[in-house]
Amino acid sequence: MRNVKLALWGPSAAGKTALLAQLYIQSRRLPGDWEIFPTPKSKPFTDRLRPVILRDSLFPSATSVGSEEQIVYLFRHRTNGAEASLHVEDRAGKDSESLDDAGRERLAMADGLVLLFDPVRDETELQEQVLRTLEGLFIAGHRGGGKDPRPVAVCMSKADLLIRKPDDARSARLEPDAFVRERMVPGLGDWIELFCANYRLFPVSAAGIRVRRGLVEPAVFYDERLQLRISQGGAPVNLIEPFLWIFNQLEGES
């Protein structure tokens, strides 16, 4: 597989910052043959958020409006040496939702895309976010009437809120596409199908879950100040799997 460039995008409150931080922090525990390394552009981000998550057990604060941080991770295959880079602009969700010309162009130039959405949003708002994103990518891609041929991983974040029993946990990991389809907004799949020729759906949770004694336990809790925290020992759900799927798709093309 040639050296490829991936891009990740998500609207306001989709959990993009938490996913990016956990993707690197938890990288040694994640499945697959790919390792994740920081770059000069990502090190300030990981240095700032590692103690927030590991020491303070807190979720990252929302990115402030007007701020922008370039984050680049390097993926390297342990055995064949293949490399891929993930390029992300960590901006306030409200800023990124506009998908200006420069933002659309960056997404259009990527070899594969990871799109992150919050499924607990109002159904109408969620559908509008997904549709607006796909329309923006379609226009930026200059494809005329053709679908986007690139691999696109459409991820529903905060999946821990949808996993209530061990069967749910198994389904989310072994049959991610089916898990999301059973729970997604009606008609949303038709819009994705309209614009994307090669896509897959993934439930994703940066906080994760714990399965003990046949019961699913949340990996988040509210402290005495009603501040949401991340429990230690939780297993994130499908943090790297969307990227592994994209790598497999791109490898098949080479």
User: Is residue 203 scored above 70 in pLDDT?
Assistant: yes
Tokens of 166: 């061990």
Tokens of 191: 């819009």
Rounded mean pLDDT, 141-145:
69
Mean pLDDT of the chain: 87
Closest CA to 118 of 204, 234, 214: 204
- Binning pLDDT at 50, 70 and 90, where does residue 95 land? low
Rounded mean pLDDT, 67-87:
88
- Sign of the CA dihedral with 116 first, then 120, 121, and 123 last: positive
- Binning pLDDT at 50, 70 and 90, where does residue 67 land? low
| pLDDT at residue 1, rounded to an integer | 60
With a CB cutoff of 8 Å and minimum separation 6, the contacts of 168 are 162, 179, 216
User: Is residue 249 scored above 90 in pLDDT?
Assistant: yes
Q: Where are the domains of the chain?
A: 4-253
Q: Are 89 and 96 within 8 A, CB to CB?
A: yes
User: Is residue 90 scored above 90 in pLDDT?
Assistant: no
pLDDT tens track for 1-56: 667 899 888 877 788 889 999 999 999 889 889 999 999 999 999 999 999 999 99
- Binning pLDDT at 50, 70 and 90, where does residue 91 land? low
Residue 177 identity: D
Rounded mean pLDDT, 169-187:
93
User: Is residue 161 scored above 80 in pLDDT?
Assistant: yes
Whole-number percent of the chain with pLDDT over 90: 49
- Binning pLDDT at 50, 70 and 90, where does residue 188 land? confident
For residue 112, the tally of other CB atoms under 10 A from its CB is 23
Closest CA to 86 of 110, 117, 115: 110
Give me the CATH code for the 4-253 domain, please.
3.40.50.300
| pLDDT at residue 144, rounded to an integer | 67
**Model confidence, pTM:** 0.90
